[in-house]
Structure 1
């Protein structure tokens, strides 16, 4: 699986581009703030054609570029997939942002932040298996960071790992699980209790040889996090 990751222009949000190979359709996961030019460059260099956008949750730093990446807000735009419990966040994620933070973004990028809701939104549900761009993507609902946070698991690995890799699958974890940490639960819609359940019931049952591509920071594996992540210690699946 061709897997390309690059950080957004703010908050170091990881944007992922996934495809069966060069010259094919691709999936774009979590297009954050200011990713449009870099994404266009990645697609041009690899002959990729975006087929859909997958959103791990509805926070602004993960969804800000979803509408332009989908091709605008017309009926012909590409579908944007998000869990139904976070669907409301796409109505206007700017409304929930601190005024000081918005001012900081305006100063950094030289223009006022604006928002247009994508027109083609598809609700994700627990246990769904999406078949898009030649890839099979399993959806696991893992609330806690937000009500509709999800993790995407694909039974393929980044091609750069090579055929000898001991890993078996790839999980795009959003802000549920990071290398050595987890997503915040103190923001609106977050829940520490829900996060604990998600870590216990969704994360821990995953195979140790699963590669984890998080919403922020470096990649890791389920096995490494099971052994070293303090937020997983003491939990039993």
Structure 2
């Protein structure tokens, strides 16, 4: 399986592309600000056509380019219902500080939006994605789980958006954020995953569940009953 990505825009948000080897179709995850042109260029050079755009949550740094990409390729965007409102009104999800950055830019939903459900299985471009609801950073944050076939067997991947980073966790000071809820989501939905699960976050470099369990300072004692934390 091809799994590649690049950081885009002033927010350096990771935009990912996933495709089966030798396939002509792919799935795009989180096309943020200034992602459209390099994404289209990569898809053209790679002879890939996206069949869907998956969104880990509704913040604008992850959704900025979703409408033009969906319009160009005639595809749907997938997002949790709790975050859908941010597609057309991103300031509601980030607060007034973003207004100065946006100026008079207007955003709108793609023509087709499909709402995600926790535990749902999506079969897109020949790839099976499992949807895991992880509220806390936003109320509609989700993680997409994939098993990628590699030379040494299947490799579990977790596209974690802004729920879990290498050495950190998502911020919770924006509208809809809840720090305790985020920690519960990580403890109950992500830490039970295998240590070999590759973490592909919304910002920064990749990691693994095992590495984060062992060294992420925000997760110390998380899930340990003796520490009194979920």
Instruction: Specify if TM > 0.5.
Output: yes
Distance in 2 of aligned mates of 1:97 and 1:221: 28
* Number of the residue aligned with 1:149: 141
Distance in 2 of aligned mates of 1:174 and 1:119: 23
Residue 184 in structure 1 maps to residue 171 in structure 2: yes
Distance in 2 of aligned mates of 1:11 and 1:235: 29
Tell whether the 8 Å contact from 1:92 to 1:117 is kept in structure 2 after alignment: no
Q: Which one of 71, 76, 84 corresponds to residue 79 of structure 1?
A: 76
Q: Which one of 103, 115, 121 corresponds to residue 123 of structure 1?
A: 115
Distance in 1 of aligned mates of 2:100 and 2:183: 34
Pairing 1:47-58 to 2, within 5 Å after superposition: 47-58=47-58
* Number of the residue aligned with 1:17: 17
Tell whether the 8 Å contact from 1:22 to 1:47 is kept in structure 2 after alignment: no
* Number of the residue aligned with 1:225: 212
Tell whether the 8 Å contact from 2:93 to 2:174 is kept in structure 1 after alignment: no
The size of the alignment, in residue pairs, is 224
Distance in 1 of aligned mates of 2:91 and 2:66: 14
Distance in 1 of aligned mates of 2:94 and 2:172: 16
Q: Given the superposition, is the C-alpha separation of residues 98 and 235 from structure 1 closer, same or farther in structure 2, using an over 3 Å criterion?
A: closer
Distance in 2 of aligned mates of 1:46 and 1:190: 38
TM-score by length of 1: 0.88
Gapped runs of 5+ residues in structure 1? 107-111
Pairing 1:92-131 to 2, within 5 Å after superposition: 92-94=89-91, 96-97=93-94, 101-104=98-101, 112-131=104-123
Residue 88 in structure 1 maps to residue 76 in structure 2: no
Give every structure 1 segment of 4 or more consecutive aligned residues whose post-TM-superposition deviation is greater than 2 Å.
94-106
